[in-house]
């Protein structure tokens, strides 16, 4: 029972990690060492494209946060940067930019499942602990 909190903490923190953390470039351009055409029939390549698309979106937000915080042009510049990064991902992997945009909205089912299960395990452990203490106080 003592390992349960460690397991829950590991699952929760593990699901908070960004896929493929890229540095923010000065000119908001996409750079990646893996320059290859993706075969979207392959689940590994679909996962790679999803990670790149989500990372590009994250980089665009961080780029705008660094350069235009609390300014009226923030959203416009963020969106321009995001479009530039999506185009870079599309060129890098020979896919359509609309597909990259679509994949940026896809959820990582395994990460979501890990987060949901960790909260369920936490709730169950808390409930069991409460019942043991409450029932123990009644006797």
For residue 58, give every residue at least 6 positions away whose Cβ sits within 8 Å of its Cβ, in sequence order, or none: 18
SS3 letters for 19-48? CCCCCCCCCCCCCCCCCCCCCCCCHHHHHH
Among 50, 75, 39, smallest CA distance to 60 is for: 75
Q: Which two tokens stand for residue 15?
A: 């699901």
Domain parsing of the chain, residue ranges: 21-29+37-106
Q: What pLDDT is recorded for position 99?
A: 95
Can you tell me the distance from the alpha carbon of 10 to that of 14, in angstroms, rounded to the nearest whole number? 6
pLDDT in tens, the chain (139 residues): 567 677 766 766 665 555 556 778 888 999 888 788 999 999 899 999 999 999 999 999 999 999 999 999 999 999 999 999 999 999 999 999 999 999 999 888 888 898 899 899 989 988 888 888 877 665 5
**Residues found in the chain:** 139
Half-sphere CA count of 125, side-chain side, radius 13 A: 15
Query: DSSP character for 101?
Result: H
Q: What pLDDT is recorded for position 107?
A: 85
């Amino acid at each position: 029972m003592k390992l349960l909190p460690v397991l829950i903490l590991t699952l929760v923190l593990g699901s908070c990690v960004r896929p493929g953390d890229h540095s923010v470039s000065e000119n908001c351009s996409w750079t990646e060492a893996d320059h290859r055409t993706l075969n979207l029939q392959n689940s590994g390549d679909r996962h790679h494209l999803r990670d790149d698309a989500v990372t590009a979106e994250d980089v665009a937000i961080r780029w705008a946060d660094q350069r235009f915080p609390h300014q009226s042009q923030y959203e416009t510049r963020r969106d321009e940067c995001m479009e530039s990064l999506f185009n870079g991902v599309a060129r890098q992997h020979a896919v359509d930019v609309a597909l990259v945009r679509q994949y940026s909205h896809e959820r990582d089912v395994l990460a979501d499942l890990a987060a949901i299960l960790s909260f369920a395990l936490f709730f169950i452990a808390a409930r069991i602990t409460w019942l043991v203490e409450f029932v123990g106080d009644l006797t």
